[in-house]
A and B are shown apart, each in its own frame.
Chain A
Amino acid sequence: MNIQKKLYPGYFLLGALVLYVFLYVIPSLAGIYFSFTDWSRFDDAMRFIGLQNYRTIFSADEDYLLYIWNTLKFTVVSSVLKTVLGLALALLLAGGLRGKHFHRAVIFLPSVLSFLITGLTFQSILKPSGLLNAMLRAVGLDSLTRHWLFEGDWPFWSVVGIDVWKGTGYIMTIFLAGLTTIAKDYYEAAAIDGARFWRKFLHVTVPLLMPAFAVTTVLNMVYGLRVFDIIYVTTKGGPGNQTEVLYTIIFKLFGYGYYGVGTALSSLMFAIMAVLGYFIIKLLNREVEA
């Protein structure tokens, strides 16, 4: 125990803890307190009103539940797509494919692009006279052309598509880093036992990639629940409120001056994320903690 104490002294924690508590925890807790008040732009006094704001959120005559549903749907769909695609690309590019460095660089490129530029570019690609429709017409698929950001369910899927386009490269990079650390011995041993691609994948790659899965899942989940920029730039939550998510509506509420309800929504979000995050970390760390 003494060596432990000497090797890993408590004061190593101080720097991170001090910064974190003062510039992160205190402002967040204050925000949670504000969610129990009627704080708004229209009234200088701030009164404690208990759970009133939360009642507003869950009442049937408001659309907040739809926004929560949209957020969760976006999170799950984009996380799954990015993980599957990212892993597939990482597996492809980890081997000895010719030009793999070029492909890795290209696929990573969109993640350094700003959301604003991505959004504006895709707005012009997806509009009725845009590039996507032009390409579809060029190959004779006129029936598939549409206004991607306005018709039916397509706005949601367009936003998901843009997000996957932008985010997959980053996830791929994490998986690539994870793949390079798996020793070749495991694959050789599996090959001697007669394992083909799928069995090697299921029994060697996936278990040894668990730490990477933990990181990408938390990353994707936190990003998805907090998604704002990409939706705000491409659809502004529209058409109507079809693609409205929690952070776009919180942004609008603050703009209108309803600070109380806004902070209540973001506190609710915190609760959702904390619970989901706890279970995900527990689940994925089972192997790691052993």
Chain B
Amino acid sequence: MSRQALLLNLCKHVAIWLVSLTIMVPLLLILLNSVKTQGEAASMSFAWPRKWMLSNYAEVIQAGKLVRSFGNSLYYAVVSVVLGIIVCSMAAFVLSRRRTRLNRFIYYFIVLGIAMPVNHIALIKVMQFLNLMNTGIGLGLLYTALQVPFSVFLITALSLPCRGSWMKRAPSTAAKASGCSSLSSFRCSRRSLQPLCC
């Protein structure tokens, strides 16, 4: 390696380490103070803890009922992500490939939702009307609905047939390619598009 290349490499390492350290310092601060006593942690300093309080963690897990709440979070995350990916990729598949006037309109109608402010009181009334209030399913469906606009926008951006980079990997010819016409649309979208978007 020439001297210039070495110097450049050194500069890169210095820069990236500076960034990483800036990111790490506050994170380490949280970690270090999480094992201090209440009084010591109040100052949030890098002083070494005088007494290691690993019991803090046990207390948080018990008092915060973390096991139960983590289970609930996991449930909503799984439901909304799985359902969201299925319905949004199906919609984006059609919207990006069959660009009729109506589909363009539907695309903009859905993507407009990224900017829409949901009114929570009206939302509660709708959910009561649909008998979805206070049910796990209802909340799961709600979280799915809330991510529809952005997911459709993102997946469409990834699968539009064009000369851009991501698109190149998912050419629409793949969908039209042999066999596809004899497959059902479900299998076609599963086989041709989804692997390319992963």
Cβ–Cβ contact B157 & A9, under 8 A: no
Report how far A34 CA is from B185 CA in the complex, Å: 42
Contact with B along A24-63 (1 / 0, CB 8 A): 1111101100100000000000000000000000000000
B94 at interface by CB-CB < 8 Å = yes
A81 at interface by CB-CB < 8 Å = no
Cβ–Cβ contact A16 & B91, under 8 A: yes
A193 at interface by CB-CB < 8 Å = no
Contact with B along A201-228 (1 / 0, CB 8 A): 0000000111110110010001000000
Cβ–Cβ contact A92 & B180, under 8 A: no
Cβ–Cβ contact B164 & A208, under 8 A: yes
Cβ–Cβ contact A10 & B157, under 8 A: no
Cβ–Cβ contact B118 & A281, under 8 A: no
* Given A181-B165, A277-B114; A131-B16 close (CB under 8 Å): no
* A residues less than 8 Å from B7 (CB atoms): none
Report how far A144 CA is from B92 CA in the complex, Å: 52
* B residues less than 8 Å from A131 (CB atoms): 25, 29, 44-46
Segment from A68-76, A118-126, A152-160, A231-239 that makes contact with B: A118-126
Report how far A214 CA is from B175 CA in the complex, Å: 25
Which of A20, A26, A92, A130 interacts with B126 by CB under 8 Å? A26
Q: Interface residue count for A (Cβ, 8 Å)?
A: 78
Cβ–Cβ contact B119 & A31, under 8 A: yes
B3 at interface by CB-CB < 8 Å = no
* B residues less than 8 Å from A211 (CB atoms): 157-158, 164-167
Which of A93, A267, A289 interacts with B16 by CB under 8 Å? A93
B116 at interface by CB-CB < 8 Å = yes
B179 at interface by CB-CB < 8 Å = no
* Given A16-B88, A266-B117; A30-B122 close (CB under 8 Å): yes
A23 at interface by CB-CB < 8 Å = yes
Cβ–Cβ contact B24 & A27, under 8 A: no
A64 at interface by CB-CB < 8 Å = no
Contact with A along B98-113 (1 / 0, CB 8 A): 1000000010101111
Considering only residues 146-198 of chain B, those with a C-beta below 8 Å from chain A are 146, 148-150, 152-154, 157-158, 160, 162-169, 175-176, 180-181, 185, 188-189
Which of A19, A89, A121, A259 interacts with B26 by CB under 8 Å? A121
Cβ–Cβ contact B20 & A103, under 8 A: yes
Cβ–Cβ contact B115 & A181, under 8 A: no
* Given A7-B176, A16-B91, A24-B148; A92-B16 close (CB under 8 Å): yes
Report how far A59 CA is from B153 CA in the complex, Å: 37
Closest CB in chain A relative to B73 CB, distance in Å = 12
Contacts A183-B168, A222-B150 given; 11 further ones with Cβ under 8 A?
Answer: A15-B87, A20-B148, A23-B141, A24-B149, A89-B19, A92-B16, A107-B19, A211-B158, A215-B157, A222-B114, A290-B163
**22 A-B pairs, CB-CB below 8 angstroms?**
A5-B98, A12-B91, A13-B106, A15-B91, A19-B141, A19-B145, A20-B110, A20-B148, A31-B118, A34-B119, A89-B19, A98-B13, A103-B16, A181-B168, A183-B165, A211-B164, A273-B114, A273-B115, A281-B111, A288-B162, A289-B162, A290-B162
- 7 nearest interchain CB pairs? A31-B119, A273-B115, A30-B122, A15-B87, A23-B145, A124-B44, A27-B123
